Structure 1
């Protein structure tokens, strides 16, 4: 089983080094809702649906849904 929170943590570190997502503060996987919550510096949040995703599909979906 993939550790989806670890994938989010590693993806967060990579995205924070980019111009497009340098203001991203956290990516939290919520398993009971199969969602990832992205929180930004100004307090904004984006919800990413990652239902039934593999780790690689989850990364693609998060990036697409965050708009980066």
Structure 2
């Protein structure tokens, strides 16, 4: 789990080469904003999708890129 945008770069961190990355795009990076983003992630994304994925959480949506089959 990271705020660092570099980890969302598929060229440097391809989905098939890691277990999972959760990139939080919240601003400001306060505890409240972070808790809200994590709460949305856990309530809206199935547990199975949390494995072998790149997940980007921002204020308006959650994007999940999974490992190709």
Instruction: Return the TM-score normalized by structure 2.
Output: 0.30
Instruction: Return the TM-score normalized by structure 1.
Output: 0.30
Structure (1 or 2) with the larger CA radius of gyration: 2
